[in-house]
Amino acid sequence: MTVTRRTLLSAAALTPAVTLLSRPAAAASPPGDVVGKISVGYQGWFSCPGDGAPIGGWWHWSRDRFQPPSPANTTIVSWPDMRDFTHAYPTAYPNLGGGRPATLFSSYDQQTVDTHFQWMRTHGIDTAALQRFNPIGDEGPTRNAMTAKVRAAAEATGRKFYIMYDVTGWTSMQSEIKQDWTQTISPYVSSPSYARQNGKPVVCIWGFGFNDDGRPFAPAACLDVVNWFKAQGCYVIGGVPTYWREGKNDSRTGFSDVYHAFHMLSPWMVGRTGTLDGLDWFLANVNTADQADCTAHGIDYQPCVLPGDLSSGHRRHGDFYWRSLYNMVKLGAQGLYVSMFDEFNEGNQIAKTAETSASVPAGTGIRALDEDGTFCSSDYYLRITGDGGRMLKGQIALTPVRPTPPVTGTTTPTGDLAAGRPVTASSANGPYGVANAVDRNADSYWESANHAFPQWFQIDLGAAYPVRRLVLRLPGFWERRTQTIAVEGIAAAATCVFDPASGNSATITLPGTPVRNLRLTFTANTGWPAAQLSAVEAYG
């Protein structure tokens, strides 16, 4: 059975620890676009019908890409936060817990790639390794187009990128990888955003030496490919097995000369552990000896750092990721490789992710970032990455305690605190669902079940804020009415007047009590026997 990068493998049995290095290892290379930098693996491999991608269908969102993703036809284990994307594609999943449709992004939309790279710029991510599987098959035209999109986004945001070949399942790899570099990829090297190290364009080859049927290449063929890229003037990174030095578990024997031919080694770590103790064990028993071997051979070391598998509950609201970053910076690694940026199929993404059950498809069991009871903002793992990069570069002190809070503060932001936040309600009447109250369409509205007061409508602000004013709205052309509304735990029931002469809005003044979940309870409506709401705004 072929073992892929998306298959979790068990860590080896624990053995006695070795002595840790007492100070950072000497770098084989000076700082460049990968040495001294935070790099992220970027899949860019999601497509949706109607996006124009040559491959067509729900590429990497569904097992059967010609059918929409649903609980019975999916590769998804984590759900993306969709609020920053202008294009969204409806799925066959049930609505989100907050009532909004379950939609997904397409990597083929330039706006998606631009948004991802803007997140990288905001959070200090230096370099993206664009994954490139066998481009000779039916994926080739789509992957070629994605390379151009990534180049445009990198140039627009001042980020760097390089090609990371994954040789899994590539039967004619030895000749075709050279052909692909020469005919398709080498022109991208002229981009000012193409990553360089030691003055050379960077390329990574992932998969040599793994002990599985998907990468059966002999050492001689692998060494030929590495040396060919070096002869083209490239700085060559090897994405190698976890146990590359020892030739056991995920690694075959006989590849020592191949590994030592690379300029940089980046051993795989996804799925090897999900605990803090496990990370510490790998530091003592694997990473330390890896770094020593690389130093002895003049090779740069770029270990994987992991946010943790969200679907398996590994993250511990950031503690797992920070321990992974801290251990590798303490070790003195020359660069860090974050696995991955956008891997929603594997649950180890750092890209913005659903925060609560209100923002994942209802009833599916997909874990949100608050799965362990601690609310985390959707950008939390991007913010941790930024702090990890600063620690790597010596801009903040080496610290085992993450400086990154799960939310950005309780300092009250300016503007509407309710904008884009998850909402739920006690009921909805037909097409007048809860999402209509947050879709920024003044003429759409939520309506509860009729003739069944009381009814409630709730907004999750994401953190406890001292809210002082609520503005409630109905469609501007409706006739005048009043609704009796209470703010649970904060303000008693009061009559709110909605009059088209004043924009059909009503304001509720609050005392500033900190609250995260704002629940409005409706007990009467003179215009219709149900609760009704077109929009709600909350201000500090």
Is residue 458 predicted with pLDDT exceeding 80? yes
Q: Which residue has the higher pLDDT, 28 or 308?
A: 308
**Contact 308/274 with Cβ under 8 angstroms?**
yes
pLDDT of res. 511:
85
pLDDT band at 6 (very low <50, low <70, confident <90, very high): very low
Strand pairing class (200-206; 160-166): parallel
Is residue 30 predicted with pLDDT exceeding 90? yes
pLDDT band at 227 (very low <50, low <70, confident <90, very high): very high
**Contact 257/219 with Cβ under 8 angstroms?**
yes
Q: What's the rounded mean pLDDT across residues 10-22?
A: 34
Largest CA distance in the chain: 82
Confidence (pTM): 0.76
For residue 110, the SS3 value is helix
pLDDT band at 7 (very low <50, low <70, confident <90, very high): very low
Nearest to 102 by CA among 111, 113, 114, 94: 94
Tell me if the bond preceding 406 is cis, omega within 30° of 0: no
pLDDT band at 413 (very low <50, low <70, confident <90, very high): low
pLDDT of res. 17:
34
**Residue 212 to residue 144: CA distance in whole angstroms:** 28
Phi-psi region of 253 (alpha: psi -120 to 50; beta: other; left: phi over 0): beta
Bridge partners of residue 212, in order along the sequence: none
CB burial class (10 A; 0-12, 13-18, 19+) of residue 514?
middle
pLDDT of res. 20:
35
pLDDT of res. 409:
55
Q: What's the rounded mean pLDDT across residues 347-368?
A: 93
Cα separation values, 155 from 114, 195, 457, Å: 10, 11, 44
Nearest to 536 by CA among 438, 390, 462: 438
pLDDT band at 440 (very low <50, low <70, confident <90, very high): confident
pLDDT of res. 90:
97
Nearest to 288 by CA among 307, 261, 267: 267
For residue 34, the SS3 value is coil
pLDDT band at 100 (very low <50, low <70, confident <90, very high): confident
Q: To which H or E segment does residue 518 belong?
A: strand 514-525
pLDDT of res. 405:
84
pLDDT band at 188 (very low <50, low <70, confident <90, very high): very high
Over residues 142-165, the pLDDT tens digits come to: 999 999 999 999 999 999 999 999
Q: What's the rounded mean pLDDT across residues 422-442?
A: 90
In degrees, rounded to 5, the angle at the alpha carbon of residue 137 between the alpha carbons of residues 134 and 141 is 90
Gyration radius of the chain's alpha carbons: 26
367-397 core/surface letters (b: 16 or more CB in 10 A; e: else):
bbbbbeeebbbbbbbbbbbbbbbebbeeeee
Nearest to 300 by CA among 330, 322, 267, 269: 267
pLDDT of res. 495:
97
Over residues 365-404, the pLDDT tens digits come to: 999 998 988 888 889 999 999 999 999 999 999 999 999 8
Is residue 8 predicted with pLDDT exceeding 50? no
Is residue 302 predicted with pLDDT exceeding 50? yes
**Residue 278 to residue 272: CA distance in whole angstroms:** 8
pLDDT band at 19 (very low <50, low <70, confident <90, very high): very low
Helices (H), 250-299: 256-259, 276-282, 288-296
In this predicted structure, which of 339-353, 399-413, 494-508 has the lowest mean pLDDT? 399-413
Cα separation values, 477 from 470, 499, 507, Å: 21, 9, 18
pLDDT of res. 481:
97
Strand pairing class (235-240; 200-206): parallel
| Average pLDDT score, the chain | 92
Is residue 362 predicted with pLDDT exceeding 80? yes
Tell me if the bond preceding 431 is cis, omega within 30° of 0: no
Is the domain 38-392 a CATH 3.20.20.80 member? yes
Q: What's the rounded mean pLDDT across residues 106-132?
A: 96
What is the residue extent of each domain of the chain? Answer: 38-392, 423-539
Q: What's the rounded mean pLDDT across residues 119-123?
A: 94
pLDDT band at 412 (very low <50, low <70, confident <90, very high): low
In this predicted structure, which of 209-213, 356-360, 467-471 has the lowest mean pLDDT? 356-360
Domain 423-539 in CATH: superfamily?
A: Galactose-binding domain-like (2.60.120.260)
